[in-house]
């Protein structure tokens, strides 16, 4: 049998922002559903309803998810019963405290009940670090594959390679971000490299931030090139 739902609201607070038409087909113990598009934040709410350990409340998600499809098969093992896919355009992710934000993301998302893979890409991403950067970093080129895994205790984001490029430098990062219910903010464990960075361009983009992070001597550098910089970061999302 087939079902079509129009103007679906996920709660009383969303009654003026209903979702587009949702249609699905049910055949015995399996189902297939589709939706042309929906706000990314609403999709995250549905994901949390399907898997409560995925706590998206610690971050704010905006953007549009398109070509949403899902399949449910009750005959499969737990964790493999749900398969979903969607394409996301012009997405943003930010901490609830607004200390960090990343804008201008495009992504292809696939996954099941416990694991979600995100293929991220952007040619004009913008990064904001309220306590670390005086101005947003704009026009960044970004590429990465990120895996989100959930379990009864929370969730974990991992990437073996996230690349950020600008005219000043190319930054490659690997590591993880893990939910921390005790602290209430995610924990960060990252490693990064920055080869062949142009110091003059770095100073124009990060001048006061470099001095704050590495001392007054960093602010005195005005020309040349950094052959290969490396860093390790262990912190929390709001403190980073």
Give pLDDT tens digits along the chain (240 positions).
Answer: 666 666 666 555 555 555 666 676 778 788 888 888 888 887 777 766 666 656 555 567 889 899 988 888 888 888 788 888 999 989 998 876 677 788 999 999 998 888 889 999 999 999 887 665 667 788 899 999 999 888 777 788 899 999 989 888 888 999 998 887 777 778 889 999 988 788 777 777 666 666 555 556 555 666 777 788 888 888 876 654
How high is the pLDDT of residue 60? Answer: 78
Q: 44 — phi, psi (to 5°)?
A: -65, -35
Q: How far apart are CA 20 and CA 145, in angstroms?
A: 29
Q: What is the pLDDT of residue 95?
A: 73
The 10 Å Cβ neighbour count of residue 84 is: 20
Query: What 8-state DSSP symbol labels residue 81?
Result: S
Q: Output the pLDDT for position 21.
A: 66
pLDDT of the residue at 101: 86
- 30 class by beta-carbon count within 10 Å (0-12 exposed, 13-18 middle, 19+ buried): middle
- 196, 227 contact by CB (below 8 A): yes
List the beta bridge partners of residue 130: none
pLDDT at 43: 77
Q: What is the pLDDT of residue 208?
A: 60
The residue count of the chain comes to 240
Beta-carbon count within 10 A of 4 CB = 8
3-class secondary-structure state, position 16:
coil
Please tell me the pTM assigned to this model. Answer: 0.75
């Amino acid at each position: 049998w087939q079902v079509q739902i129009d103007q679906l609201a996920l709660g009383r607070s969303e009654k003026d922002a209903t979702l587009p038409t949702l249609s699905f087909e049910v055949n015995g113990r399996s189902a297939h559903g589709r939706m042309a598009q929906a706000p990314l934040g609403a999709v995250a709410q549905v994901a949390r309803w399907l898997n409560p350990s995925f706590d998206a409340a610690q971050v704010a998600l905006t953007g549009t998810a398109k070509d949403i499809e899902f399949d449910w098969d009750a005959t499969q093992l737990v964790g493999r019963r749900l398969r979903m896919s969607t394409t996301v355009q012009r997405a943003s992710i930010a901490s609830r405290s607004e200390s960090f934000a990343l804008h201008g993301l495009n992504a292809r998302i696939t996954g099941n009940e416990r694991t979600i893979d995100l293929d991220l890409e952007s040619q004009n991403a913008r990064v904001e670090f309220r306590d670390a950067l005086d101005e947003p970093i704009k026009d960044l080129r970004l590429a990465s594959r990120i895996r989100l895994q959930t379990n009864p205790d929370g969730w974990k984001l991992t990437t073996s390679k996230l690349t950020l490029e600008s005219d000043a430098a190319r930054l490659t990062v690997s590591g993880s971000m893990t939910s921390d219910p005790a602290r209430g903010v995610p924990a960060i464990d990252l490693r990064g490299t920055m080869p062949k960075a142009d110091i003059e361009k770095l100073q124009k983009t990060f001048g006061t931030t470099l001095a704050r992070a590495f001392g007054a001597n960093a602010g005195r550098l005005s020309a040349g090139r950094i052959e290969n910089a490396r860093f390790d970061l262990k912190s929390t999302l709001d403190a980073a």
